Amino acid sequence: MSIDLKTVKHISKLARISIDDEKANKLKGDLNNIFEFIEKLNELNTDNVQALTSIAETTLRFRKDEIKSENIREKILKNSPEENKDFFVVPKVVE
């Protein structure tokens, strides 16, 4: 199978990465080469194989549901791209 330009544009939209036509064409070539390489997996019959879901054979731990009341508001906002001490600022969403 091969990935066409329309598919590349569709994936870029899903991935929220804008690309121009020149980049899209270059990516189309790269992705097709990579997928040609990946297709090798189809040689294998995996009908009766259980998919691996966790490499560390442990179950997830439970922890106590407790409040650790560290005030980290300032820390969280510290790297905010637009200066504001109370909120994250984004472009207007509601007209």
Partner 1 sequence: MSDITSQSLFELTSNIKEKKLSSEEITKAFIDRAEKSKKLNVYVTDNFEKAIDQSKKFDSNLNFDLKLPGIPIAVKDLFCTNGVRTTAGSKILNNFVPTYESTVTQNLWSQGAILLGKLNCDEFAMGSSNETSFFGNVQNPVGENLVPGGSSGGSSAAVAANLTPVTIGTDTGGSIRQPASFTGTVGLKPTYGSCSRYGIVAFASSLDQAGPMTKNVRDCSMLLEVISSFDQKDSTSIDYKRNCYSKELSKDIKGKKIGIPKEYRVDNMPDEIEQLWKNGISYAKDCGAEIIDISLPHTNYALPTYYIVAPAEASSNLARYDGVKYGFRSPGQNLIEMYEKTRSEGFGDEVKRRIMIGTYVLSSGYYDAYYLKAQKVRQLIKKDFDDAFSKVDAILTPSTPSSAFKIGEKTNDPVSMYLNDIFTVPINLAGLPGISIPAGKDKNNYPLGLQVIGKPFDEQNILNISYALEDKINFKNDISDWWLSE
Where on the chain is the footprint of partner 1 (CB under 8 A)? 3, 7-8, 11-12, 14-19, 27, 30-31, 33-35, 37-44, 46, 49-56, 58, 60-61, 63, 72, 75-76, 78-82, 88, 90-93
Nearest approach in angstroms of CB 1 to partner 1 is: 9
Are 88 and 80 contacting, i.e. CB atoms less than 8 angstroms apart? yes
Are 12 and 30 contacting, i.e. CB atoms less than 8 angstroms apart? no
Nearest approach in angstroms of CB 45 to partner 1 is: 10
